[in-house]
Structure 1
Amino acid sequence: MIPENILTIYGRRPVYEAIKNQSINVWRLHLATSNKPTKDLDKIVKNAKNRNVTIHYHTKRELSFISKNGRQDQGIACDIQIPEMEEYREYLKNIKNKETTFLFAIDNVTNPQNLGMIIRSLTASNCGGIIVTRQMLKNISPLTIKASAGAIFKSKLIYCHDLSKALRQMKKHGLEVYALCPTSEESLETFKLKKTSVFILGNESKGISDELVRETTGTISIPLMNGIESLNVAVSAAIVAFAIQRM
Structure 2
Amino acid sequence: MENDQHIYGIRAVVEAIKAEQPINKIFLQKGLKGELFKELEASIRKNGISASYVPIEKLNRLTRNNHQGVVAQISPVTFHDFEQLVEEVISKEKLPLFLLLDQVSDVRNFGAIIRTAECCGVHGIIVPKNGAAPITNDTVKTSAGAAFNVPIAKVDHLKDAVFYLQSSGISVTAATEKTEDEIYGVDFDQPSAIIMGSEEKGISPSILGIVDQKAKLPLLGKIGSLNVSVACGVFLYEVVRQRRK
**2:83 matches 1:89:** yes
Q: Give, in angstroms, the shift of residue 86 of structure 1.
A: 1.9
Query: 1:204 is matched with which residue?
Result: 199
Aligned-pair identity (%): 25
* Structure 2: gaps (5+ residues): 7-60, 64-73
Change (3 A) 1:66 1:207: closer
Q: Give, in angstroms, the shift of residue 157 of structure 1.
A: 1.4
Query: 2:11 is matched with which residue?
Result: none
Change (3 A) 1:146 1:221: same
In the alignment, residue 230 of structure 1 is paired with which amino acid? Answer: S
CA RMSD of aligned residues (A): 2.7
Q: Which residues in structure 2 correspond to 1:141-156 (within 5 Å)?
A: 141-156=136-151
* Structure 1: gaps (5+ residues): 1-5, 10-64, 68-79
**Matches of 1:242 and 1:101, distance apart in 2:** 15
Aligned with 1:199: secondary structure? strand
Change (3 A) 1:93 1:223: same
**2:103 matches 1:111:** no
| Alignment partner of 1:224 out of 219, 232, 238 | 219
**Matches of 2:126 and 2:83, distance apart in 1:** 12
| Alignment partner of 1:125 out of 120, 129, 133 | 120
Equivalenced residues, count: 176
Aligned with 1:223: secondary structure? coil
Describe the superposition over 1:127-151 as per-residue Cα deviations: whole angstroms up to 9, x where unpaired. Answer: 1211112336772222222221222
Aligned with 1:200: secondary structure? strand
In the alignment, residue 242 of structure 1 is paired with which amino acid? Answer: Y
Give the conservation status (yes or no) of the 8 Å contact 1:123–1:156: no
Q: Which residues in structure 2 correspond to 1:187-198 (within 5 Å)?
A: 187-198=182-193
**2:144 matches 1:157:** no
**Matches of 2:193 and 2:199, distance apart in 1:** 19
Q: Which sits farther off after the overlay, 98-107 or 154-163? A: 154-163
Q: Give, in angstroms, the shift of residue 234 of structure 1.
A: 0.4
Give the conservation status (yes or no) of the 8 Å contact 2:172–2:212: yes
> TM-score with structure 2 length normalisation?
0.64
Query: 2:181 is matched with which residue?
Result: 186
**2:232 matches 1:237:** yes
